[in-house]
Amino acid sequence: MREGFVMRIIKWIILYIVSVGVGTFVDVNILEKMDINVWLSRGIGCLVTVIIALIMHHYFFGKKTSE
């Protein structure tokens, strides 16, 4: 029981770090170098963070199917 809880916490931490890292990378290194409004680039970076988090959540915490 305790090991499952610790693994779930580790998965959440990895999910947060990776999704925020990818969103920040897209915002700072790609979008802010373009000639668009800074708030638009930050909003798109936030959207990228949410999409990456949802994809990772699906793969980390999705129900496992048994064969």
pTM: 0.78
Element (H, E) at 45: helix 38-61
Dist. CA 32–CA 22, nearest whole Å: 14
Dist. CA 64–CA 66, nearest whole Å: 6
pLDDT at residue 48, as a whole number: 93
Containing structural domain, residue 30: 2-61
Q: Is residue 16 part of a domain?
A: yes
- Please enumerate in sequence order all residues whose Cβ is within 8 A of that of 60, keeping only pairs 6 or more positions apart, or say none: 11, 14, 15
The DSSP 8-state label assigned to residue 30 in this structure reads I
- The dihedral through the CA atoms of 24, 28, 30, 34 has a sign that is positive
Q: Is residue 66 part of a domain?
A: no
User: Amino acid letter at 9?
Assistant: I
**4 — pLDDT class (breaks 50, 70, 90):** confident
How many domains does the structure of the chain reveal? Answer: 1
pLDDT digits (tens, 9 = 90+) for 11-67: 889 999 999 999 999 888 888 888 888 889 889 989 999 999 999 989 888 776 554
pLDDT at residue 65, as a whole number: 57
pLDDT at residue 64, as a whole number: 65
